[in-house]
Chain A
Amino acid sequence: MPKLHIRTEINGEPAEFLAEPHQTLLDALRNELGLTGTKEGCGTGDCGACSVTFDGQLVCSCLVLAAEAEGARIGTVEGLASGEALHPLQQKFLEHAALQCGVCTPGFLVAAKALLDRNPDPDERTVRYALAGNLCRCTGYDKIIRAVLDAAAELRGEPA
């Protein structure tokens, strides 16, 4: 079986690559497109490290075939910052020390952005449930939750 020629859109830019039919989107992002911000954790949809958006929907890229990206819009952690300017979520993760080893961080950022895009003013419980699909072995989660709530407040234009 020859490789499939996939035309897609990643972080607003057109992109194309060659994929094996059984290759995952996670693998294609990292190894065909060099977008290594998206991390591989479990590879079975349990840890959320590989979170991306697919046509606006938060998904685990390890559970998506690369071939499915044809004609789709993919959003990865590389799309969060504007040039050198960090996204407020990224800035608040730094300020709150919401990461240690950093492997889970891109997934948390993408999942948190997906939440805030549809719910700009979530309460703590909502944030905890929305991020239940992302596992972190370093922080104990609390700093991550604080960072997301703080970023949400900033994005709403509320004073710190």
Chain B
Amino acid sequence: MHDTRYEAPRSIEEAVIMLSSGSVDDVRVLAGGTDLLVQMTSGGRSPSLIINLKHIPELTRIRFDDSGALYLGAAANAFTIGQNERIRQQFPGLHEAVGLIGSDQIQGRASVGGNLCNASPAADTIPSLLTSKAVCHIAGPGGATRTLPVSEFILGPGRNALQAGELLVELELPAPAAHSADAYQRLIPRSEMDIAVVGVSVRVTVDNTGTCTDASVALGAVAPTPILVPEAAAALVGTRLEPADLERAAAAASAACRPLDDKRGTAEYRRRVAGVLTKRVAAEAAERARGR
């Protein structure tokens, strides 16, 4: 830790050059710092270079384009996202997930981009990013850019698809269809400030008869990475989202779990809770979608 350098670049180009100057473990980006500083102060990690991303305008920007797609700068903090009324309206489930990240103090720093890049199996925002079909915009050396769906970005616990010298710039969430809504809930042992035992995001789209025409279900904390469960989504599509339909989706969600047994919950408990939450969250998303 003694030879750490600190840089605060003003542009993506500068940041990418700095990123390319060392290995992934040696050069660390500081978006919110809520994971990085804990890793550093608890002694686990002593990078040779820390790159503060919060002075790069694209990284902290939150914007909507003309199609209604949301672009979230990778280092935009959770508190600012939580205050954004249009995000609350258009992506209520993502808004709920962001609002569950830590305390107000943590939200003042933590970013959705960091939550994604750290790739915790229990990350609260990743299930919502998955059901919203979010796409990562990545910058690389020499002005290269590429895009990758969030579903392909997460490789394993703590592992993402960024190559040496690459930087996650922003997340694009396509405009939801008409009569579409998402919801997110998690189970934690207390009412605030804890890590999900199970997290569930559901997005449903309904037609004007109330029949579900599209659905997406994603689970957190029940597998090495957050996972999409197409079988659970398929159980909803074509139905009127009646209790029996939600029950079938719940069974599919439970069946898709590959959970750990740990101090937060046994594998069997997580499997059951994944089903219960899938029912509740699907009902919530359905109610929201019908109201649109």
Partner-B contacts on A (CB < 8 A): 1, 4, 20-22, 24, 43-46, 48, 51, 54, 57-60, 62-65, 67-68, 70, 111, 114-115, 129-130, 132-134
B6 at the interface (CB under 8 A from A): yes
Chain A contacts of B79 at CB under 8 A? Answer: 57-58
On whether A70 and B8 interact (CB within 8 A), knowing A45-B38, A54-B108, A64-B33, the answer reads: yes
Chain A contacts of B33 at CB under 8 A? Answer: 63-65
On whether A111 and B6 interact (CB within 8 A), knowing A22-B50, A44-B42, A63-B37, the answer reads: no
On whether A129 and B41 interact (CB within 8 A), knowing A57-B79, A65-B33, A111-B104, the answer reads: no
**Contact (Cβ within 8 A) A22 B4:** yes
B102 at the interface (CB under 8 A from A): yes
Q: From the candidates A21, A45, A48, name the one contacting B4 in the complex (CB within 8 A).
A: A21
On whether A63 and B4 interact (CB within 8 A), knowing A21-B50, A57-B77, A130-B104, the answer reads: no
Q: How far is the CB of A21 from chain B (nearest CB, A)?
A: 4
B145 at the interface (CB under 8 A from A): no
Known: A58-B104, A60-B105, A67-B52. 7 other contacts (CB 8 A): A24-B41, A45-B34, A45-B102, A63-B32, A63-B109, A65-B33, A65-B37
Chain B contacts of A111 at CB under 8 A? Answer: 104-105
- CB nearest neighbor in B for A61: B105
- CB nearest neighbor in B for A50: B105
| Bound-complex Cα distance A21 to B46 (A) | 11
| Bound-complex Cα distance A44 to B102 (A) | 12
Sort chain B's interface into a size bin. 20 to 34
| Bound-complex Cα distance A130 to B1 (A) | 34
Give the most central of B32, B33, B46, B54: most A CB within 10 Å. B33
- CB nearest neighbor in A for B47: A22
The prevalent SS among residues of B at the interface is loop
Chain A contacts of B104 at CB under 8 A? Answer: 58, 111, 114-115, 130, 132-133
> Nearest 10 CB-CB pairs, A to B?
A133-B103, A21-B6, A132-B192, A57-B108, A59-B108, A22-B4, A133-B105, A67-B6, A60-B105, A21-B4
| Bound-complex Cα distance A1 to B106 (A) | 29
**Contact (Cβ within 8 A) A45 B3:** no
Instruction: Supply 12 A–B pairs (Cβ within 8 Å), ascending by A.
Output: A20-B4, A22-B1, A46-B193, A57-B108, A59-B105, A60-B105, A63-B32, A63-B34, A65-B37, A65-B52, A67-B8, A132-B103
Q: How far is the CB of B251 from chain A (nearest CB, A)?
A: 34
- CB nearest neighbor in A for B79: A57
- CB nearest neighbor in B for A59: B108
- CB nearest neighbor in B for A4: B6
On whether A21 and B109 interact (CB within 8 A), knowing A45-B102, A65-B50, A68-B52, the answer reads: no
| Bound-complex Cα distance A158 to B35 (A) | 42
**Contact (Cβ within 8 A) A64 B109:** yes
Q: How far is the CB of B10 from chain A (nearest CB, A)?
A: 12
| Bound-complex Cα distance A132 to B102 (A) | 9
**Contact (Cβ within 8 A) B37 A21:** no
Q: How far is the CB of A156 from chain B (nearest CB, A)?
A: 21
**Contact (Cβ within 8 A) B105 A58:** yes
Chain A contacts of B109 at CB under 8 A? Answer: 57, 59-60, 63-64
Scoring B residues 34 to 69 as 1 if CB is less than 8 Å from chain A, else 0, what string do you get?
Answer: 100110111000100010101000000000000000
